[in-house]
């Protein structure tokens, strides 16, 4: 049985993370084929994925800064902190 909660909060976070993949193949790939192979690899640095069309290596993530946040649901139910006039990030 799942517990029901009184309040639900949803927010989005947007950053400019950059993920690096290396795809190797013995045949010329389309952009979609290249992406399908790359996106099949586990996003842990150094992990590889191999199928009949090629090999993908996840080379890592460069994490962005200056994240932007936006409330999607529940803003009206947020408890204000002391000295806070209005909700803002």
Q: What are 41-53's pLDDT values in tens digits?
A: 999 999 999 999 9
Q: In whole angstroms, give the CA distance from residue 24 to residue 58.
A: 12
Q: In whole angstroms, give the CA distance from residue 42 to residue 57.
A: 9
Q: What are 24-82's pLDDT values in tens digits?
A: 999 999 999 999 999 999 999 999 999 999 999 999 999 888 888 888 888 888 877 88
Q: What is the pTM of this model?
A: 0.64
Q: Which residues on neighbouring strands pair with residue 22, listed in sequence order? A: 57
Number of Cβ within 10 Å of residue 24's Cβ equals 12
């Amino acid at each position: 049985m799942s517990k029901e909660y009184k309040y639900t909060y949803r927010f989005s976070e947007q950053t400019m993370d950059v993920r690096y993949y290396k795809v190797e193949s013995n045949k010329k790939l389309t952009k979609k084929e290249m992406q399908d192979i790359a996106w099949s690899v586990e996003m842990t640095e150094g992990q590889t994925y191999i199928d009949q069309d090629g090999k993908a290596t996840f080379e890592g993530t460069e994490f962005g800064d200056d994240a932007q946040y936006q409330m999607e649901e529940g803003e009206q139910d947020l408890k204000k902190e002391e000295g806070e006039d209005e909700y803002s990030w």
